[in-house]
Structure 1
Amino acid sequence: RDSCAGYLNLGCLALTGPGYVKGIEGTTLHVHCRYDVGYKGYKKYWCRGEHDIGCKNIVGTKGGETVERNGHVSIRDHADDLTMTVTMEDLQEHDAGTYWCKIQTMWIWDELSRDVAEMVKVNVILATTPVVSTLLPTTHTFRQNVSIEVSTLYTRSPLTGLHLLLLVFLKLPVFLSILCAVFWVNR
């Protein structure tokens, strides 16, 4: 899980994230990465790829605290609490994958820049998958008070409605018929 393995990078511990997040298809996912005070004012960005070097840049800040957007993904730097927040709206199955919270530390920003990076694996749960909402927390705290918010959506399995219909119109009458037959025989 250590994105700095094998590299001499003194900034590796200066950026922390949740490591793994999951969201439900069609909802909004918020990912928070916390950075060291020394990186206040630096440009932050969110990119996708198996490795932090050469990952595809999706959205980035311009050094301020305004929300920057690219499609359904936005980023905001909260300098007061040293946190960058990435928001992925209308989450889809194809959004699952490996992403990186990154801080631009190089003067020249290209594919080979070795910026401070923290890996975040995103998993998307399909909306048709039965989910028990009490088992999926809305907020979970990770190391160093970094939290992620997962918008929860209670999804009912189509089988739940079918089971209710079978219970009322088939199982209950059969049970009552058997019960009446037992009382009639015992009479």
Structure 2
Amino acid sequence: MHLSLLALFLFWISGCFTAQDPVTGPEEVSGYEQGSLTVWCRYGSWWKDYSKYWCRGPKRSSCEIRVETDASERLVKENHVSIRDDQTNFTFTVTMEDLRMSDAGIYWCGITKAGYDHMFKVHVSINPATQSPTTVPTTPTTTSTTTIFTVTTTVKETSTLSTQTSHYSDNSLWRMISVMQTCHCSSPEPPL
């Protein structure tokens, strides 16, 4: 009897016997070449003070750790991969930047502990970039154009006819035309 309890206890200590998955995440994520992708891995509150990591490899027993926390919330960056542990929300975030086609593969969200680590498998796929990035130097330019119009207006007054010629820039021409459209252009009746 004591031997079976000891075996059960050792089984539980190794992390193989838990009520919930100690760490979870997306089964699949994808990003575009030269872009970035972010993976959120969740864990149970009892694991908040443990180191978290992101490793790559088809087998959990032989994956290569790419980046690992130091059991704090400090951002850790290795090459083009970063990790940050949010111990309030019980998630750690992994961001892979400047993605390459060779980044595609099997990765693992992991929690370092005595015995076997808790791990969750994530398949990462990388799509080809939609277009090649190009750098085009740009120099801001400003072009200003002013057009001069000549407008001849005829105004009928009581008994005289006068002709007036004026020069207007394009903006004032449109203002003048709108004023002329609202004006009846007839002379007022002489006062009685």
For the residues of structure 1 that align with 2:42 and 2:84, how far apart are their CA atoms? 12
Local SS of the residue matching 1:80 = coil
Local SS of the residue matching 1:94 = helix
1:130-179 Cα deviation digits (max 9, x unpaired): xxxxxxxxxxxxxxxxxxxxxxxxx69xxxxxxxxxxxxxxxxxxxxxxx
1:50-85 Cα deviation digits (max 9, x unpaired): 011111111100010001111000101011110010
Deviation, 1:10, is 2.4
Q: Percent identity?
A: 42
Which of the numbers 95, 103, 112 marks the counterpart of 1:87?
Answer: 95
In the other structure, the counterpart of 1:40 is 48
1:74-153 superposed matches below 5 A: 74-106=82-114, 114-128=116-130
TM-score normalised per structure 2: 0.58
For the residues of structure 2 that align with 1:96 and 1:33, how far apart are their CA atoms? 18
Q: Is 1:26 matched with 2:28?
A: no
Instruction: Return the index of the structure with the highest Cα Rg.
Output: 2
Ranked by relative contact order (alpha carbons within 8 Å, sequence separation 6 or more), the top structure is 1
In the other structure, the counterpart of 1:164 is none
In the other structure, the counterpart of 1:52 is 60
Deviation, 1:92, is 0.7
Q: What residue ranges of structure 1 are gaps of 5+ in the alignment?
A: 1-6, 107-112, 129-154, 157-187
Aligned length: 118
In the other structure, the counterpart of 2:156 is none
Local SS of the residue matching 1:53 = helix
For the residues of structure 1 that align with 2:31 and 2:75, how far apart are their CA atoms? 21
Q: What residue ranges of structure 2 are gaps of 5+ in the alignment?
A: 1-13, 133-192
Relative to structure 1, the CA distance from residue 64 to residue 25 in structure 2 (aligned partners, 3 Å threshold; closer, same or farther) is same
In the other structure, the counterpart of 1:10 is 17
1:33-54 Cα deviation digits (max 9, x unpaired): 0000110110001100001111
1:77-124 Cα deviation digits (max 9, x unpaired): 011110010000011100000000000012xxxxxx620000000000
1:3-30 Cα deviation digits (max 9, x unpaired): xxxx971257111110100101111100
Local SS of the residue matching 1:38 = helix
Q: Is the 8 A contact 2:15 2:118 kept in 1?
A: no
Q: CA RMSD in A?
A: 1.9
TM-score normalised per structure 1: 0.60
For the residues of structure 2 that align with 1:31 and 1:59, how far apart are their CA atoms? 13
Relative to structure 1, the CA distance from residue 8 to residue 33 in structure 2 (aligned partners, 3 Å threshold; closer, same or farther) is closer
For the residues of structure 2 that align with 1:10 and 1:54, how far apart are their CA atoms? 22
Local SS of the residue matching 1:22 = strand
